[in-house]
Each structure stands twice: as structure tokens, then as C-alpha cells.
Structure 1
Amino acid sequence: MPDGHMSDTSRRRFLQVTGGAGVGLMVGFTWTGTSRRAQAAAATNAFVPNAFVKVAPDGTVTVLIKHLEMGQGVFTGLTAIVAEEMDADWAQMRAEHAPANAKLYNNTAFGPIQGTGGSTSTYNSWTQLRQAGATARALLVAAAAQTWGVPASDITVSKGVVSSGTHKAGFGELAAKAATLPVPADVPLKDPKNFTLVGTKLPRKDSAEKTTGKAIFAIDVVQPGMLVAVVQRPTRFGAKAQAIDAKAAKAVKGVVEVVEIPRGVAVLATSYWAAHQGREALKVTWDETNAEKRGTDAIIADYKALLPKPGQLVTKEGDVDAVKGAKTLKAEFTFPYLAHAPMEPLTCVVKLGKDGCEIWAGDQFQTIDQMNAAKTAGLKPEQVTIHTVYAGGSFGRRANVESDYIVEGVAIAKALSDAKVQGGKLAGRPVKLIWSREDDIRGGRYRPLYVHGMEAKLGADGSVLAWQHRIVGQSIMAGSPFDQPGKPDATSVEGAAEIPYTIPNRLVDLHTTTSPVPVLWWRSVGSTHTAFAVETFLDELAAEAKQDPVAFRRKLMEKHPRHLAVLNLAVEKAEWTKPLPKGWARGVAVAESFRSVVAHVAEVSQDDKGRIKVERVVCAVDCGIAVTPDVVKAQMEGGIGYGLGAIMYGAITMKDGVVDQSNFDTYRCLRIDEMPKVEVHIVPSANPPTGVGEPGVPPLGPAVANAIAALTGKRIRDLPFAGSVSV
């Protein structure tokens, strides 16, 4: 996902793209007008002081969460922000997904769209939800003051109870009165030193539903008359259906219809198994004129052929070519395509009528999905209603500007309304589209394949005099609303364009390649590869300079105190200088992504058969105020596990343009017995929160690679590790 830094140019371009969609940038959040709030309260029998808070007569407070809960903990963290400012009791708090409405629920880091990603959920909601909670509290206090005839200054609120002398009332008792009062302006917010919930351990708000099976995911949604659909897509990216033989597919018991859609051929049935069996019987001839037919080795060779040539300038400081007489070190790195592989594959339910469309999905990009669904259905975006439900992971997969699985679902539903399809008698039947894991791994979207070329020059004293970094790979942003034509794709170079090391002469450039292989942001996006190249190459320089890698970094980080503090905390907690058992070694890496800084110290071992195991990872993170420390720790732990699986085993490879992998048997993920012991240490901070969902991933790979190099002397430059060392 983009990390929230959208330039004025890209904002204007996005508005040009979406200008007719009736989507506006929301600059405020409260519902102005007493009558409107009173009407809303009457309709729901609740106090609705703004777009984010509802207080029911029984005193429960529901926070409408504008971001998708996909396991990262936003139902807990964002609810805690509101509860803190309301002085509510945690037990009375509830959370639910907000409607798809960019005018009320836009992501302020992205602009005029509602969406989740780039580790922006808490970052962009912090002030907004504090104001929402404080406003709700002020209205409840004002209602109590009028009811009891006491000054508002004499009223206190604690754990959901409003008090003044002998007067006491719960939020629910005051809700009706509060709903009639004018909204106050500029309500003061709490001093962080007075926080009682933020920064503490809180039970998650989604755990009970998920552990009892009550949580609703898209695959759980059932509609009357619903058909289940699967899609046959081409085995080579860029191919199109040329001829379809559906006779055998339609003969499968339970199969209702077979329809062609722009991205393939859909089989509809009364059950998933029937649809799957029907697809197995389907015969499709593909036009592969514009398809990708290269294998992985050929793509890498093409990329490496570009490394000797200057690319598009990204960063230039000083003059790297002017440095003479220094020792030169060079390195090349290759990073494969990576699948997202969320535990819950892609699913959506679509109910299409003449005047509107309803969609149920673990929706990560509501506004963009509304627009793409509307265009596909021939409707206006406001005629598309999205019901956001839980998602079982995403790692960026559910947020793509083409809305691939949403558009497929709508396209299938629309095809059923064609009079040529059974005389139109299937029109209006709800459709549940299900992607299998094989569908997504073989034909989904991937973290791009990249090749890096590094060159540095060292002085006689070991100082880094020059640094050159060349990157080759596909653009994620190209053709999207976030694209900035003529400028380097920020997602290709983030983590390389700016580094926390002071080097007098530095050059970074980029070759952007093209291919029909669809690419997408993957958990921590550009830093998934740039941090590895930067941090492992830096270790090589430290070794060449015969300096300790921590001391080497400290000297270069003197002008970056935030990074230095995180590094120091990690090495302190890891006891960097303490001797390790025989056959063990440590490695360190630091990376900034999504406004947070993370350092990892990894400890690895090697057994008598030469097999490498990651034993321990000590993590230090500066993410501003840790709203829910348990969630921060869980996200660091999850990022370490996810990143470790990727660097050890993760790779999407192709032979003649056809993907080799299909499921977890061939696209290997980390197994439970391979998970290292993890310790997470959070840097105390009074700064606003920054990202935590993704920043734990980037420094993991290089920390482990540096530890392996310290243990074995082998530098790993081609990922995954399984191709270089025994694991």
C-alpha cells in the first residue's frame, strides 16, 4: 500500500479520475445540526453525536471503524482512542465497520477515499477519533448539567459514569437529552499524561467473535437464491479467452450456468464443489498473443542486463564518480515475485438489481471498489452499497485499484441479467465468488521481482565515501490513481531513496520494467527489498572496514537520533556483546517504513548437518504513542514470522510464463516449529502514533542474513535463503 504520502499532483489526478463519482474530501467529522442528530438518534434509539460514535440507551458505546479489521487490531486500537476521550469503561465499548461513505469516512492520509493500508489506520484516525470521543463526552456532560442544574465544571466522568455530588448517571440515561444539544466547537482533548486506557493492555474487541465462530467473513454470507461462482483464468498472464466449450461443465450436477467475463470464464452452481467440478470440466482455448511467456531466469537476465546502464534519477548527493583512489565494493541482489497468501482467500457476495448493487466483502478499498463496481454494473457509485465484514488477512492483496475480485463478482452478476442467458431468468440472483488459494497463488497479484546493483567506496579509515544503488523492477503505481507520470515510482525506491546514514556522495536510480504479470503492494511494499539490500551491503562494508556492525552504523547515524535510539535499544536488550553458544551468531538491521523505525537483532544457529535456524529476534520499535501495546507487539511478532517465511522460502517462479506454485505445499510459509523466540521493546514516546502493521517486516531479512554471514562467512544476495543455505 502507499504509505499515505500522496503528492498534490497525484491528488489532482485522482480527483480527475473520480470527479464524477460524487466523492468529496471530508474536512470535518461531526454531524452539524441538532435536528439531523436528533433524527438519527430517534431512528436508531441511540445518541449519535458524530459519524463515529453511537451511544445506546443501555449505555453501550459503539465506535464505527472506517478501516477494515483484517487481524491487525483496529477494532481494539481505534475503539480505545474514543473510549479514552469519553472516559468510558472498556466493557461498554463495541466496534463495527462503518458504511462505505468517503464523505464521512475517508482515509485522511490518502485523500478523498475510504480505504485501509500503508499502516495508516491509527495514524490518520488519532486526532479525528480523539475529537469524536471528546465531543461525545462534552455533550453527555452538558446533558447532565442541564438535567441536574449544576455547572458542567462540577461534573466528572469515570468508567462510563457521569457524576456530580449525589447525582450519578450512565451514558445511556443521558443519551436522549444529549442528542438534542448543539455540538460544541473546539472541545479540549486530554493531556496524554492523564490517559488511563491508551497505552495499557486491553482485551481485543474481535477475539470473542472469532474464537466462538460468530464472526462473519465474506464466505459466511448467505443470501436467498444465491449461486456460487468460480472463475477459470488463463495460465499465462495477459492471455484472453478465444473459444469456450462449456458442454461438459454444464453437465456436472449442480452447475447452473457458464458465462464469459472480461477476466475469464465463470462457472455458477448451487455449491462450491459443484462449481469447482464444473470448472475442471470446462474447456477454454486462450489467445496468448500478448501473454508473458518468459520464465523467471529469463526475466532476471533481462533485468541484470540493465544494471550497467544509468536509470531514472531518484537521489543525488555529491558526486560518486568524483571519488578516486578508494576501495570499491560491489554486490548484486535478486528478489523474487512474492504472493500475499492470506489465510482467507478472496471472496465477495454480490446482489445486483436494476437500481442498485449490494456487495459483502472484507473490503479494504471501499471507495475505489464502489467506483469500479459501479462502472462494471452500469450504475452510479452511490448506487453501490458495500457491507464490510471481517477479513482473514490481506497483506495488501484486497486493496488493488482494479478491484479485481469485486469487479469479477459484479461482472458475473451482470452477465446473469443478459436476456441471452437462460432468457434472463437468473437476473438478480445473488452471486458468491470464491477464489481458491490455488487461484490466488497461480493467478493473483505479486510483490514485484527486483534486481539491485550496489557499489560503495571506502576510505583508508573505513569511512563510506560514496554509495550507488540501482534498482530494476516493475512499477506498482503505474496506471493507478496514485501514479505520478514522469517521476520514479516511490514504492520501488522507498527505503533506498532516503537512508538514515550520512554518506557525502550518494546516487540512487531506477529502471522501471513492464510485464503482463500483475503486481501489487505487499506487506511493507518497497522496503521489503530495499532494506535488505541496504542493510546487508552496509554489513559487508563494516566487515571490509574491520569494524563492529553496530559501531559502524552508530557513526553513520549521528544525524538521525531517532534511528540511533531504536538501534541502541535493540542491541542493549539483545546483549549484543554477550558471548553466544558455539555455533550461534548475531546480526542486526534497522529500517524506517510507514513513519516508524524498527531495529532487529537476530540470533541464528547452525547444527551439525549445516542447517540454519533462527533462534531469537529482539525487536525495538518507535511507533509514537503505542495506543495498544499488546497489538503493537503482536504486529511486530506477526511481521517477523511473515517476513521470515518469505526470506527463507517465499518465491513465485515461472516456466514459460506459467506459475510453478499453487498452494502452501509449493509456496512454503513459516511453520510453527520454525518461529523464533521474539522479544519486542517499544520506545516510550509522546509523539502521535505511526504505523505498526508493516514496519516489523523490512529489517527481519537483513538481520538474519547478517547473522548467517557472521556465522558462516556466506553473504546471501539472492532470495529466498533456501536456495543459498540449508534451512
Structure 2
Amino acid sequence: MMHKVDFRDLPHALQHLMTRGRPAPKALARRSFLKLAGAGGLALGVFPHVAGAETTAAKGASALKATQQPSAFVRIARDGEVTVTINRLEFGQGVNTALAMILAEELDADWGRVRSRHGTNNMAYVDPAFGMHLTGGSNTIKNSFTQYRELGARTRAMLLAAAAARWKVEASTLTTRAGTVVGPRGRTAGYGELADAAMALPVPETVVLKDPKDFRIIGRPTLRLDATAKSSGRQAFGIDMALPGQLTAVVARPPVFGAKVATVDDRAARAVRGVKAVLRVPLDGGAEGIAVVADGYWQATQGRDALKVEWNTSAVEKVDSERLLARYRELAGQPGPRKFDADMTPLDTAPQTLEAEFVFPYLAHAAMEPLNCTVRLADDRAMIWMGSQSPGLDAAAAANALGLQPEQVAINVQMSGGGFGRRFSSTSDTAVEACMVAKAARAAGLDGPIRTVWSREDDMKGGYYRPMHLHRARIGFDAQGKVLAWDHVLVGQSILAGTVFAAFQIKDGVDASATEGMRDPYGLPMRLTVHHPKVNVPVLWWRSVGSTHTAFVMETLLDDIARATKQDPVAYRMRLFGDEHPRHRAALQLAVDKSGYGKVALANGRAWGVAVHESFGSVVAYVVEASVKDGQPVLHKVTAGVHCNLAVNPRTIEAQVQGAAVMGLSMCLEGSTITLKDGIVEQANFDGYKVARVTDVPDFAVHIVPSAEPPTGMGEPGLPPLAPAFANAVAKLTGKPMRQLPFAMA
């Protein structure tokens, strides 16, 4: 069996996280701050274990937490280059630029000399709102906006104090400009020449932040710091790790989830040139596999292909997609826990009624960079390199698997080529598996670093998936489209059951991540019954989580009601919003105005489609143009209205909306589905699993509602409303509502 973490000692926001959990961030004394500060600039190279340093805190220590200390986040080299450490995983969403922009704004840095880098599993890099390491829920900018502003302001204040001491003047007489302190009579000093002196000064506990009207970096469309490296092929990702003496491992995985090895003949595998070891290892979910360790990936895969393995699948459920759907339909007719419980009596007398069933398949994360993790073991420590959305949780799980304390494990977060939720598993399966392989390899006499790599097929056939869901609705409404009663049933696996989030995200048997996006913001009288069957298919959050299906259901059904009552779908939604949802109104109105909806004559055979949805604190509205050609739907143009409050980097927001919309478009296309037969996933690569190609991508226009309010997230909110907007356009053209994803046109 895979080692399991006992999650009973988590920081306050996520109790029950780890047996030997690290303490929450504490105040860091000035003496400890100086001990940890690196030579050659205001910096901290790796910011090793703050918790240990904190034990030396002197009486009268600063009240600042580790998450508030500039030493963990800012490195100023003597030549003035500023490197900002980001406390999240960068895997395409642009946080390595946006967080650097936020800090650089208050630091008053020269943006042309700002760089960024990833952090580690140190407690300085926890999400300041959640108290744990987490890249997810589109929370990076939302939760770290003030944190990074204050980090920049504190660093600037220390530099001003250092210059004031050098020139023997009051710091209040000094100003800063683009990486330079400016003093009386035009005296100047670059940040680089002041950094050593500044790092020896106390860290101010309180700072005054800029008025947003004075921003010169935040709010400007800015080229991403990683754009050149990525577009030129020079960017290194986790899969590119190449340490001295490194070996590569691939794992033969069972065809059915949870199965074990019955017999294995590894003689041919061991005979492959470059193969160093063939090892039996435990895998996630109680499964077993065979790891082949070799000089490189090619040799390891050749060795794996030569294995002769028989699998014992007798003790595990063999899921079949068709049978599972029948089971879900049966469950939908049974009583179950309820999220909402409005009176359904008006259904019997409603002037008009509507009934619908929706089916959503399992979906793969299908990131461009498959999973990987490199582990270097020593007797009393482990170094890990991986793209992790939760390095603290992964380090704790790795420590448990290796028989170490959490502080003996260091995770160096690596740039990742996508993830969409897959790089944050509550079981830390990627990290734990790689550690078990490295542990077995070391026991076999192989002492070098081991890079465990998943192939595309491994990832698609043996990973985690967005759950399959069934929705069933019966709605009663009047001639004006007023909903009198909405009886709804949702069936699908719980993502959060058995995880650290279950205690506060599953209430009365209902997983909140499955129902998010239902009813709101429309305030409809709804009874929502929920069933969470247990199925032998590993499931996980997938970009925008529950909203991937709830937005489609809500926004297409509202269009159905608008059509049935002969109302314009935009006007109908605006009436439902009333005066209570100004952000929804603003986002939808912006998309309508910029698209020409209702004013511009569309080409023959085209129709408008509209949808609006809030997820993770941001509202995205789409007005699309679509047609049906040769029996297949075609998306031609997408106009987005986005309300995410203050736009830190409008260019990143535009990219995130486009990327999320294309991912939402993929859900609509024939072949975008994961199916199982006799427990085996039938799709193995992009030849069998559809994602949108360049030829499928429409013209985009992204418009942002101006706002100075604190920013909300944008990594996920662009996805949910795309599919229903597209479906609503297709329904206008065909007269047939879309009731499943991908679209069924027959």
C-alpha cells in the first residue's frame, strides 16, 4: 500500500493536513532575519527553514510573519537587478510576471531590470490567506496582492533608510525613481549599491502603500517575463531536469485503477542496454507497478516495453461508461441530500414547464508537459524538483513515504507546462510515487538522482479526471419567464471526499465543489438534490471545477426559458440580475456593446449566443457568433466582457480568457471525452482525445471593465461560459437545445 499522510495537524485554515506538520508562519526576529539574509544584496537565496531560525527569536521580535519578510522574496544584486520570488507555481497563468509587477510597483523598481523565480516548500511561501502552499482556485493575485505590495513597500523603506544614513539626512526628504534613491541637490544612489546596508536594518512593520492613481506598472499591458524564453524554446521545465549522475525512471502501470502485479518477467527488460534496475513499487490508490530505471527516457521506455506483466484486477471495480451512466440515471430518481430546498408545489400548476437531462463525461487534464518529478536522496534528507501546486503538502507526503521529517524534505518548484489542477493532488501521488521509485532504486544500489517521467499515455490512461456528471431538471415558469419552481438533481463523484478539504467543503453529504455555480446569481426557487456515488475512477479538480458543468446547465436552461417566453436572452438576464449584481450587468453589457449584438447584421447562417457566469470571484460574459457547417458547429467570433476588479496585467488577463475559452471550446468538440470499458480508459493520446486545434480557434476580442477594487482571480473564470454561449447559438440555428458535452448534433 502507498504510504498515507495522517492529516490531523494542519495550520488553522486546513486542519487535519499532516502528521508532522510544520508550524504556521511566525514573526521573524531581526536577528534571525540578518542570519538568513544572503550576502551580495538584499536577498535570501533558498530561504532555508525559517521555522528553525525562528526558535532563536529575541525578546521584542518583530511582529511580522515569514510571509511578510522581504528577505524571502526580494534579491537586489549589486548591479541593481531585482529578482522576485513567487510563492506560487507558474504553469501558464502569468503569476511570475503579475506578482513581480505588484512588488516592483511599490518598490519603485526599474521594470526592465526585474526578474522572477520560483520558491520552495518553505513556510514563507504559503498562501497568506489559507496558511498552506497552494496554487489553485484562481487565488494567487487575489490573496497575495496586498502581501506583495507590502513586501515591495518594506524593501523600498529599508533602501530609503540606508540612503538616509549614508547621506545623514532624514528619510522623509528622499524619493525613489525606477531603481534609484534620489536625495537633496540631485544626489542619487542605485538600489544595488544600497542593498547590503539596507539588509542590516530593521524591517518596518507598517508601510504606506501607493494610491492606485499613482501606479506606473500595475494596470499596464506588460509582456510576460517568461515570454521570450518560452517562445524561443529556451525555457526549462520540470521535465528538463538534468542533474549530475541522474537516471530516468518510467513505470508500468496497471490497466485498471487500483490493480496489483500478479506476475512479472523482467529478463528482457534488464537486457536492454542502459537499463539499470527493474523495481516493483507501490502506486497511488493501493495499486502496484513496475519501475524501469535507465540512463535516459528512451532506454527506460524500451525496457518497460520489454516487460511481461500479468495484472491482478480481481479485487477492483471495472468501470464501464455506459453502465455507469445507467447507474447515474437510476440514482437521479432517488431521494438524496439537498443543497437547496425550495418549495416545489408551484410546479404542479405552473403555466409552462421544461424538463431536461444533461450528461457530462470524464475529462483528462491533458497538459502539454506530462507529470514528472526528480528526487535526490541522502540518508537524512531529500531534494525534490517538480512543478507542484502544493509543495508543502507534497513535501509532507514525501517525508512520510521516505520515513523523514517534513523539514528534511526540500521541494524546488519548477516551471510547468500546464496542469489545470492535475499538479495538486490530495494524495500527492506524483511526488510520493517518485519518492518510492527513488527509495527502491537506492536500495538497489543506485545512489544518483532519479527523474520519474510519465508519458502522455501514462497521464491520459492512468491519471485523475474531471468527474462524469448527470444533471436532471424540471422547471415551472410563467409567461413572463418568472421561474416559479426549479427541481434539480445532480449526480457525480465527489472530488473532495477523503481529502483535507472534506471537513469544511462537504456539508450534509454535498460536495460544494460540485454544486458551485448552481442557482446564483439569479436567486431562483430551486430544490437541488445531490448524489455522490463512489466509483473506481480517480477524480480531481479540473480548470474551473464545478462550474465546468453547472454554468452550462444554468445558462442553456435560461436561454430555453427566454425562447419559450419570446424574450431576448440578454434582456432576460438583465431583468433577473435586477440591481443586486452590478458586476454581472457590467460584464454582460460590455460584451454586448463591443460585439454589436442586436445592432450588427450577422452573415447568413450565423447566430448570436450569450452566456455569463461568475467563478472564483470574477465575472466573464461571452457574446459569440456561430454557425453549423456540414452538420458540425463552428465558432467564429468571441467577444468577452470581464469583471475581475483591478486588472494587474491586462495582457495576461486577455491571454487567460483566450486560453480558458479555447479549453471550454474543446469540451464542445466531438471526441472530447474520456470513456472506460471493463475498467480501462479507452483514450491514450491526442489521436483519441480531442482538443481544439488552431483551425478551431475563433477570433477573440477581450474587454475588461475598469475598476480600482482589489483584484479577483482570472486563471479559471474564462472557461465556464464559453460552452453555453456556443450551445445557445447552435440551438438558435437548429432549434434543438444542446443537452450534453461534447455536442451531440445527430
Which bracket does the TM-score occupy, shorter chain normalised? over 0.9
Q: Secondary structure at the match of 1:619?
A: strand
Give yes or no for contact 1:46–1:57 (8 Å, CA) kept in 2.
Answer: no
The 5-angstrom pairing of residues 3-14 of structure 1 reads 14=14
1:125 matches 2:144: yes
State the distance in 2 between where 1:151 and 1:543 align.
Answer: 70
1:570 to 584, 588, 591: 591
Give yes or no for contact 1:442–1:660 (8 Å, CA) kept in 2.
Answer: yes
1:626 to 647, 660, 677: 647
1:658 to 680, 690, 696: 680
State the distance in 1 between where 2:515 and 2:438 align.
Answer: 40
Cα deviation, residue 321, structure 1: 2.6
* Alignment correspondent of 1:457: 476
1:43 to 39, 44, 47: 39
Give yes or no for contact 2:43–2:73 (8 Å, CA) kept in 1.
Answer: no
1:375 matches 2:394: no
Cα deviation, residue 224, structure 1: 2.5
2:739 to 717, 720, 724: 717
CA offsets per residue over residues 653-675 of structure 1, 9 Å max, x none? 11122111111111111110110
* Alignment correspondent of 2:51: none
Distance 1:45 1:183, change over 3 A: closer
* Alignment correspondent of 1:448: 467
1:140 to 156, 159, 166: 159
CA offsets per residue over residues 678-708 of structure 1, 9 Å max, x none? 1101011111111101000000000000000
Give yes or no for contact 1:718–1:724 (8 Å, CA) kept in 2.
Answer: no
1:502 matches 2:526: no
Q: Secondary structure at the match of 2:641?
A: strand
Give yes or no for contact 1:563–1:597 (8 Å, CA) kept in 2.
Answer: yes
Which sections of structure 2, spanning at least 5 residues, go unmatched? 1-7, 45-69, 284-288
Distance 1:560 1:11, change over 3 A: farther
State the distance in 2 between where 1:254 and 1:131 align.
Answer: 52
* Alignment correspondent of 1:166: 186
Amino acid at match of 1:186: T
1:386 to 406, 411, 427: 411
State the distance in 1 between where 2:735 and 2:260 align.
Answer: 49
After alignment, is 475-484 or 283-292 more displaced?
A: 283-292
Distance 1:190 1:19, change over 3 A: farther
State the distance in 1 between where 2:667 and 2:675 align.
Answer: 14
1:179 matches 2:175: no
Which 4+ residue blocks in structure 1 deviate beyond 6 angstroms? Answer: 8-11
Q: Secondary structure at the match of 1:159?
A: coil
Give yes or no for contact 2:43–2:72 (8 Å, CA) kept in 1.
Answer: no
State the distance in 1 between where 2:399 and 2:426 align.
Answer: 14
Give yes or no for contact 1:10–1:482 (8 Å, CA) kept in 2.
Answer: no
The 5-angstrom pairing of residues 293-308 of structure 1 reads 293-308=318-333
1:548 to 535, 554, 568: 568
TM-score by length of 2: 0.91
* Alignment correspondent of 1:493: 515
The 5-angstrom pairing of residues 247-646 of structure 1 reads 247-263=267-283, 264-316=289-341, 318-326=342-350, 327-418=352-443, 421=444, 425-426=445-446, 428-484=447-503, 486-496=508-518, 498-503=519-524, 505-558=525-578, 559-577=580-598, 578-607=600-629, 609-646=630-667
Cα deviation, residue 42, structure 1: 5.2
* Alignment correspondent of 1:695: 717
Q: Secondary structure at the match of 1:301?
A: helix
State the distance in 1 between where 2:462 and 2:143 align.
Answer: 33
Distance 1:83 1:17, change over 3 A: closer
* Alignment correspondent of 1:76: 97
Cα deviation, residue 193, structure 1: 1.2
TM-score by length of 1: 0.93
* Alignment correspondent of 2:689: 667
Amino acid at match of 1:134: A
State the distance in 2 between where 1:90 and 1:234 align.
Answer: 50
State the distance in 1 between where 2:646 and 2:479 align.
Answer: 43
- Equivalent pairs, count: 701
Amino acid at match of 2:306: A
State the distance in 1 between where 2:191 and 2:11 align.
Answer: 41
Amino acid at match of 2:414: V
State the distance in 2 between where 1:584 and 1:166 align.
Answer: 64
State the distance in 1 between where 2:340 and 2:10 align.
Answer: 20
CA offsets per residue over residues 213-241 of structure 1, 9 Å max, x none? 44221222112222211111111112122
Cα deviation, residue 442, structure 1: 0.9
Distance 1:466 1:27, change over 3 A: farther
Give yes or no for contact 2:461–2:684 (8 Å, CA) kept in 1.
Answer: yes
Give yes or no for contact 1:47–1:176 (8 Å, CA) kept in 2.
Answer: no
State the distance in 2 between where 1:512 and 1:67 align.
Answer: 31
State the distance in 2 between where 1:594 and 1:187 align.
Answer: 29
State the distance in 2 between where 1:46 and 1:521 align.
Answer: 39
1:707 to 723, 729, 732: 729
* Alignment correspondent of 2:213: 193
Distance 1:105 1:42, change over 3 A: closer
Give yes or no for contact 2:246–2:451 (8 Å, CA) kept in 1.
Answer: yes
Give yes or no for contact 1:336–1:448 (8 Å, CA) kept in 2.
Answer: yes
* Alignment correspondent of 2:64: none
* Alignment correspondent of 1:5: none
Give yes or no for contact 2:346–2:476 (8 Å, CA) kept in 1.
Answer: no
Give yes or no for contact 1:32–1:183 (8 Å, CA) kept in 2.
Answer: no
Q: Secondary structure at the match of 1:348?
A: strand
Cα deviation, residue 630, structure 1: 0.1
After alignment, is 675-684 or 141-150 more displaced?
A: 141-150
CA offsets per residue over residues 249-294 of structure 1, 9 Å max, x none? 2122222211111121111111211211111121222221232323
Identity among equivalent positions (%) equals: 47
State the distance in 2 between where 1:679 and 1:25 align.
Answer: 43
State the distance in 2 between where 1:590 and 1:196 align.
Answer: 32
Q: Secondary structure at the match of 2:510?
A: coil
* Alignment correspondent of 1:217: 237
State the distance in 2 between where 1:27 and 1:707 align.
Answer: 54
State the distance in 2 between where 1:592 and 1:560 align.
Answer: 11
Q: Secondary structure at the match of 1:174?
A: helix
Give yes or no for contact 1:347–1:435 (8 Å, CA) kept in 2.
Answer: yes
CA offsets per residue over residues 355-404 of structure 1, 9 Å max, x none? 11111111221011101111111111111111111101111111101111
